[in-house]
Amino acid sequence: MNDYEREHLERLRKLAPECMVLLRKNGDFPLEKPGKIALFGSGARHTIKGGTGSGDVNARFVISVEEGLERAGFTVTSKGWLTCYDQVRETAAERFYDGIRREAKEKHQMPILIGMGRAMAEPEYLLPRNAEGDTAVYVLARNSGEGSDRRPIPGDVLLTETELRDILAIRREYKRFLLVLNVGGPVDLSPLGEVENILLLSQLGAGTGDAFADVLLGRSVPSGKLSTTWAAWEDYPTVGEYVQPDDTRYREGIYVGYRWFDTVGQVPLFPFGFGLSYTDFHYGKVSVALHGSRVTVNVPVKNSGRFPGKEIVQVYVSVPAGKLDQPKQTLAAFGKTALLEPGKRETLHLAFSLEELASFDEEASAWVLEPGRYIVRVGASSRDTVPAALVELDERVVLRQVKHVGGKPDFTDWKSEAIPEKLPQELPILKAEAAAFKPIPCPKPAVPSDYAKGLVAGLGDEELLKLCLGQFSGSGLASVIGSASQSVAGAAGETYGGIPGLAGLVMADGPAGLRLSRQYTRDAKGAHAIGSTMPADMAELMPAAVRHIIKLTQGKPKGEVYEQYCSSIPIGTALAQSWDPAVAEACGDLVGREMEIFGVQLWLAPAFNIHRTILCGRNFEYYAEDPLLAGRMAAGMTRGVQRHPGCGVTIKHFCCNNQELNRMTSNSLVSERALREIYLRAFEICIRESDPVALMTSYNLLNGEHTSQRADLLQTLLREEWGYRGLLMTDWVVAQASGKGRHAVARSAPSIAAGNIFMPGSQADLAGALKALRGQDKRYALSRFEAERCAAQVVDCVLRLRK
């Protein structure tokens, strides 16, 4: 291992407990010292460090829970069970891949298209269990990934009969029992009401096993809280449409996650923002102050238990319903204490501006605050919030009038009834003056620099358009296997580097670390990955020709072999569970350092689409169901990466990319209010707080038009309304992987016209754009002005990163 790897692993080990959520406890844990331990469950030996797909980092190794416990001095007494389970799993995997190949044959499709990201559901089995010790740990694992969504079936969202039977039996058989969840999203735990100790370990990267052992022994303490509501499967909302092949209607409007649960009074198993600690916390008397439109909530927190711990306090506001309906409450601020020793106190000062609670009035096309009583509430989760003060506003305040963007769906949003609430008599009332409100600032629209404009104006059509595409090489096959960069092996792509004096920008995936190939060779044509940069399960489903290429490069490589081992950090959801942007920033800092080491300029992360449904196969990469939490975490990550000169993030997938089914051609139908308040909000916060260098649009359509082709989103909103100056790029539209659906895939010409560089680029994409530019395409028009505008942003980005 290199020094940087060792150092990063150590840093991540310290951060990991911040991301773990203790869901239930009875005081049996932590353990005092290592001893005999009976270890069961699919994640015990096959611990998942993060989901599959482009977000999977090619780490040097993964420390499983079993290894982590042994390294900490435990004796695992259930080796027999674990080995038998290996067999069960192997057989199930063979059956799983055979099934995909058969299905592909019947549907006349490539197996990779059918099986991409499809996680094998946990099999059923009966294995003898006789393992010594007083303590048992059951590690339940789930995987998912890009290309497929999760399913509400046993072995995925639901427990299998085997899991249910074994977990309940093991709980009865051992003195102490801990259920550990090595998952990237909710599993329906409703049948496990009697299990007293549950730890959501999550998927924490290569050091997952060590981090778990630390927490089991109380050497560190879990201090995360949920960033998504965990409920019984049948209790999730069915108001909207979810995961439809062509058109998915977001009928629930703004009522996403806890906004829906809290409004309709549906009790989840574990609410948004919930998490316990080994210790307990007591909140003292909360005080609330209002200065102009700025609200400060002071919350004294005391560690009233026996262990050290950190507490996350949340402030929610109930916005009064008026012309616009409102959810029961909205997260307005949050904070986390330092590590408090037993008996110690800290007062958190949590602040927000009332402007941040504005709603979007579609009719007026404006951000508004309606008159009435704003109830400020404080809680340890979204479900136990207590009113702390009322802020009264007498008149309607219009904060900013904007142009409509995003198009219109073919329905009106579901609306909640106004919920009457009896408030405590003695609540302080703070009067807000409409005059104190600051209009939402109108930043200067972002325009290309004169230098960039001059440079692109002098290019011939073909050179100009090459700058509007990713740099591509001959076959395009490399793009399909996730490594279209010729300069850095295993990197996802790069911008065109053929213009003298203008270097290309290398882009590598994330978000769970930097995704490169572990080893490579180099020749005059560039860097060549040794073996596959894609996960083994994906490679398994590749066409024979691709498997053959992978095999060839795996053999004896010609020339010197170089290494690029990258650290894998916790998945996005786990990071958000820390509720601490500084944790994301620390991870970003470490990624930025590795980008410098390996010569990568743009990291294709962070990804933070909203957790709209727990079925979305890529939720594990994303942060939260709430835009404030997601946006703040993304900003932290951005600051960490961009602290390194020459390194930038690429925030993605902009926007409404909330399912994987037919991901390149699915159409999200969303009202403008929901779009702006929920789905664009996290991006807006991240852009405002941290100035990310680049942004990737999503594959999907929004109200009938690809997001990547929507000038209203890219120009009117991003450039003009938000003043965003970063590089805009499409997601990787690869013809071979486009799948089937009613809608067409995005095309180069309209994407470039809207202001997006088209990635990863191919000869066909160049030909298409040229045809449109020359006015020879009946469907798409592309003007020289649009192409120059698109190319100029690449020049400016190169200047920004490669000075």
Q: Which residues bind ligand BGC (CB under 6 A)?
A: 54, 146, 482, 492, 509, 604, 652, 731-732
Q: Which of 310, 612 has the CB closer to ligand BGC?
A: 612
User: C-beta of 602: minimal distance to ligand BGC in Å?
Assistant: 10
Provide, rounded to whole angstroms, the least separation between the CB of residue 637 and ligand BGC. 15
Which residues have a Cβ under 8 Å from the Cβ of 475 and sit 6 or more positions away? Answer: none
Cα–Cα distance measured from residue 66 to residue 137, given in angstroms and rounded to the nearest whole number: 10
Nearest distance from residue 604's CB to ligand BGC, in Å?
A: 4
Minimum CB distance to ligand BGC smaller for 66 or for 731: 731
Indicate the residue among 56 and 210 with the shorter CB distance to ligand BGC.
Answer: 56
For ligand BGC, which is the closer residue by CB, 54 or 337?
A: 54
Which of 652/743 has CB closer to ligand BGC? 652
**Residues 345/302, Cβ–Cβ less than 8 Å:** yes
For ligand BGC, which is the closer residue by CB, 393 or 492?
A: 492
CB of 775 to ligand BGC, least distance (A): 32
Range 62-85 burial, b when 16+ CB lie within 10 A, else e: bbbbbbbbbebebebbbeebbeeb
CB 530 within 8 A of CB 547: no
Q: What's the min distance (Å) between Cβ of 7 and ligand BGC?
A: 27
Q: How far is the CB of 509 from ligand BGC (least distance, A)?
A: 5
CB of 79 to ligand BGC, least distance (A): 39
Tell me the C-alpha to C-alpha distance, in Å, between residue 766 and each of 461, 466, 469, 700: 11, 7, 7, 22
Helix residue spans in 555-626 (DSSP H): 572-577, 581-598
CB 64 within 8 A of CB 85: no
* Residues 606/641, Cβ–Cβ less than 8 Å: no
- Which CB, 435 or 536, lies closer to ligand BGC? 536
Q: Min. distance of Cβ 801 from ligand BGC in angstroms? A: 18
376 dihedral zone (left: phi>0; alpha: psi -120 to 50; beta): beta
- Token pair listed for 712: 């209203």
Evaluated on CA atoms 359, 360, 362, 366, the torsion sign reads positive
Beta strand pairing call for 366-369 and 397-401: antiparallel
How far is it, in rounded angstroms, from Cα 577 to Cα 224?
A: 5
- Based on CB atoms, which residue is closest to ligand BGC, 587 or 604? 604
Judged on CB neighbours under 10 Å (0-12, 13-18, 19+), 59 is buried
**In the complex, minimum distance from the CB of residue 484 to ligand BGC, in angstroms, rounded to a whole number:** 8
For residues 483 and 490, give the distance between their C-alpha atoms in angstroms, rounded to a whole number: 5
Q: Say if CB 150 and CB 616 are below 8 A apart.
A: yes
Instruction: Decide whether 496 or 732 has the Cβ nearer to ligand BGC.
Output: 732
Q: In the 8-state DSSP scheme, what is residue 124?
A: P
Tally of helices (H runs) and strands (E runs) in the chain? 21, 31
274 vs 215, 283, 571, 577, 634, CA distance in Å?
18, 15, 19, 10, 21
Q: What is residue 464's three-state secondary structure?
A: helix
Pick 25 or 515: Cβ nearer ligand BGC:
515
Q: How far apart are CA 377 and CA 383, in angstroms?
A: 11
CB of 488 to ligand BGC, least distance (A): 13
Give the nearer residue to ligand BGC in terms of CB position, either 37 or 527. Answer: 527
Using the minimum distance from each CB to ligand BGC, give the nearer residue, 337 or 667: 667
Minimal distance in Å, beta carbon 526 to ligand BGC?
Answer: 18
Shortest distance (Å) from residue 731 CB to ligand BGC: 5
φ/ψ of residue 623, rounded to 5: -85, -55
What whole-number distance in Å separates Cα of residue 379 and Cα of residue 383?
Answer: 8
Give the nearest distance from C-beta 471 to ligand BGC in angstroms: 14
Q: Which lies closer to ligand BGC via its Cβ, residue 330 or residue 697?
A: 697
DSSP letter string, 148-192: ----SSBTTTBPPHHHHHHHHHHHHHSSEEEEEEE-SS----GGG
Cβ-based nearer residue to ligand BGC, 585 or 731:
731
CB of 733 to ligand BGC, least distance (A): 9
d(CA 646, CA 629): 27
Instruction: Say if residues 308 and 297 touch (Cβ distance below 8 Å).
Output: no
Count Cα atoms within 13 angstroms, Cβ side, for 689.
22
**What CA–CA distances, in Å, run from 802 to 47, 149, 471, 596, 737?**
39, 38, 17, 12, 32
Strands 36-40 and 135-141: parallel
Tell me the closest approach of the beta carbon of residue 738 to ligand BGC, in angstroms: 11
Q: 593 or 652: whose CB is closer to ligand BGC?
A: 652
Closer residue to ligand BGC (CB): 472 or 732: 732
Tell me how far, at minimum, the Cβ of 762 lies from ligand BGC, in Å: 14
